[in-house]
């Protein structure tokens, strides 16, 4: 009986011990993420330098740098005195575009992609084109030079555009249908 009582006493005292934290068997240092970031920074720098070299070789075209990390020039520019309207959030734009590789090889010819109606910032569209449309006015044609991270990035378009491929996109903006606040609230 004393042995049984001593056993219960030992078990009772042992169970009062506070739980100890369990440590992982192995720890990851995050080196894979650091390597990936370094690799991507190097890729972006190479693509941007290549695009800058292309622009430097073309002295006949007046390129502009966007605040969003791509370059562009106007094929057809609408004078500010005619309109100052640029598409904004929720506006419906009607546009058409073609895509070629940064070397000038046609990927999607003019007319190959159907004319598109797009609700600004409310539908899926690659980031460079979405940002580029905001720089345009109705009736303008603009050619954009996008590094791969502003185009289709790592995944490409799963059809003709490959991994990490910088592209040239020629866009014609036909119409901007301005949306009022009431129309946006009803959607």
pLDDT digits (tens, 9 = 90+) for 4-22: 666 666 666 566 656 677 7
Number of domains in the chain: 1
Indicate whether 141 belongs to any domain: yes
pLDDT tens profile 167-179? 999 999 999 999 8
Q: Which residue, 65, 37, 35, 39, is CA-closest to 52?
A: 65
Q: Which residue has the higher pLDDT, 23 or 139?
A: 139
In which domain, by residue range, is 96 found? Answer: 37-186
Indicate whether 150 belongs to any domain: yes
Indicate whether 42 belongs to any domain: yes
Indicate whether 94 belongs to any domain: yes
Indicate whether 12 belongs to any domain: no
Contact assessment for residue 89 and residue 121, using Cβ atoms and an 8 Å cutoff: yes
Chain position carrying tokens 């720098």: 45
Indicate whether 21 belongs to any domain: no
Indicate whether 17 belongs to any domain: no
CATH number where 108 lies:
3.10.50.40
Instruction: Tell me the backbone φ, ψ of residue 186, rounded to 5 degrees.
Output: -75, -15
Taking 60 as the threshold, does the pLDDT of residue 184 lie above it?
A: no
- The set of residues, in sequence order, having a beta carbon less than 8 Å from that of 130 and lying 6+ positions away, is 120, 121
């Amino acid at each position: 009986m004393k042995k049984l009582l001593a056993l219960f006493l030992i078990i009772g005292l042992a169970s009062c011990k506070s739980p100890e934290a369990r440590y992982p068997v192995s720890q990851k240092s995050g080196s894979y993420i650091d390597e990936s970031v370094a690799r991507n920074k190097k890729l972006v720098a190479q693509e941007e330098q290549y695009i800058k070299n292309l622009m430097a070789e073309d002295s006949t075209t007046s390129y502009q740098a966007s605040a969003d990390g791509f370059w562009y020039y106007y094929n057809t520019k609408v004078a500010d005195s005619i309109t100052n309207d640029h598409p904004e959030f929720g506006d419906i734009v009607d546009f058409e575009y073609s895509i070629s590789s940064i070397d000038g090889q046609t990927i999607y010819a003019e007319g190959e992609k159907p004319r598109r109606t797009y609700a600004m910032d409310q539908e899926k569209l690659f980031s460079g084109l979405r940002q580029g449309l905001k720089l345009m006015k109705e009736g303008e044609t603009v050619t954009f030079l996008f590094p791969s991270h502003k185009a289709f990035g790592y995944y490409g378009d799963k059809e003709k555009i490959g991994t990490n491929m910088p592209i040239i996109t020629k866009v014609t903006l036909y119409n901007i249908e301005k949306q009022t606040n009431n129309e946006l609230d009803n959607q």
